[in-house]
Structures are given as structure tokens and as C-alpha cells.
Amino acid sequence: RQTVDGGLHEALRMQRPALAVGLDHGKLPGGRVEHGIVARRGQEADPFPGGLLVFGVGQHGGAFVPEGGPASAAPTGGPPLPWLDKLEEWASIALLLVVLVAVSVQVIARYVLHAPLFWGGELARYTYVWMAFLAGAFVTGRRGHVRIDLLDAILPPRALKWLECFANFAVGCICLAVVVFSFDWLLGTARPKSPALRMPMIFLYGGVWLSFALMALHSFVTFYLVATDRVPATPPNAETY
């Protein structure tokens, strides 16, 4: 990718009459440009055969976008599984709201009505566990976990790509091992019940088990997409999602 300023935009407009340069806020044949200046092919000699040259504005980068649809486009940095990303996001938000309501009701009942609820604290704790692990799977899908990137500026692109593949494959294997080897233990938690809610404990631990399964899925999908150059090796910034 390359970023150009207004001076280069003007130079293209003045020196390349074969290119129609203008703002484009919609979809392009090879992808989507939110804010960008697009140099389209003209009738004369084409300095950018086979597609569009997209120049970024401000902090947005530019890229050459091939013709032929998304399959031939440059790698994008969005969530690998958008539908699952949205599901995890909204589920995490809903669980956070449940925690907020449960804690608020417990505080009011204890200090205003002087009649504390025996189940309020337990509901808040268990919901917080679900939210934390599900949000962990959500962040894994967005490749947003805390990472040490000391080697990113040292390694060549090809080595960085395979390092990212190794990291995602290792995380996926570890999460998958947790899912496989904890399944029998998980089934053993179906009979015990929680003290206040009388909820089978498998629902509490099952949320953790499901989150590890989702993290394994996200890691293996990211491994495949990075290995096949469908997404960049370096995770994009959060605001790109």
C-alpha cells in the first residue's frame, strides 16, 4: 500500500489526462473504499493495466485493486467470519447488560430496600464469566489480543507471514486440546447445581468450553487466510473493523 498527498493527486490530474481522478465512496470491482481518490483507466495508454489504483486520503492507505471481483482483490483486514463476529459481539454486549442490571438491582435491594437478593451476586458472577470468555473469542476473531510485535519491523514479509501462521496454529492447537481433553470433565458437571440459582454447573463451565472452541475456530481460520494471502500477516488497526 502507498499513501499519497494532495500534491500527487494534482500531479496525476495534470500529467495523466488518460486518468479520471475523483472521489469515490462506494464499492469498487475489487473491494470497497470508504474514503479515497480513485484513478480509473482512461482511453489512452494505461499505466495501471488490469484494475484501479486507489490512493488513500489522510490516514487511509492506497492500493492497486485488480479487476475480477473480491477473489482477485488485495488482502483485506476485516474479520474472517463476519457473521460469527457480529454474533459474538452482540452476545457479549447482552451479557454485559445482564451483569450491569444484576449488580444494580442487588445494590438497590441491599442498601435501599434493606432486602438483599440471595441470587443477585451469583447471577452477576456467572454472567461475568460467560461475558469474559465469549469476549475473548470475539477478540481472537478480530486478531486484537495483546501481542508482542518486536519482530514485525525486523523480519522480512515472508518470514513475518509464516511467524503469524505458526502463532495462530499454535493457539488453535492449544485451544482445541482444551476442548477435547476437558469434554469428559464437562459432562461430569451436569449434576452439581449452583448454591443460589440451582443452575446445573455445566451451563457455567460450558460457556468456557464453548469459548475455547470458538477461539480454536478463529485461530485455524486466520491461519488458513494468512497462509493463502487472503488477509495481511500483520493484524490491522482496530478502527478498520
Per-residue pLDDT in tens (0 to 9) along the chain, 241 residues: 444 444 444 444 444 433 333 444 444 444 444 444 444 444 444 444 444 444 443 334 444 444 444 444 444 556 778 889 899 999 999 999 999 999 999 999 999 988 888 888 899 999 999 999 999 999 999 888 888 878 888 889 899 999 999 999 999 999 999 999 999 999 999 999 998 889 999 999 999 999 999 999 999 999 999 999 888 888 766 443 4
pLDDT in tens, 132-153: 999 999 999 988 888 887 888 8
pLDDT in tens, 65-80: 444 444 444 445 567 7
- The secondary structure of the chain as a DSSP string is -BB--HHHHHHHHHH-TTSEEEEE-SEETTEE-SSEEEEE--SS--SSTTEEEEEE-TT--BEEEESS-GGGSPP--S-SSHHHHHHHHHHHHHHHHHHHHHHHHHHHHHHTSS---TTHHHHHHHHHHHHHHHHHHHHHHTT-S----TTTTTS-HHHHHHHHHHHHHHHHHHHHHHHHHTHHHHHTTSS-B-TTT--BHHHHHHHHHHHHHHHHHHHHHHHHHHHTTSS-SSPPPGGG-
* Residue 16, pLDDT score: 42
pTM value > 0.85: no
pLDDT in tens, 103-141: 999 999 999 988 888 888 899 999 999 999 999 999 999
* Residue 22, pLDDT score: 40
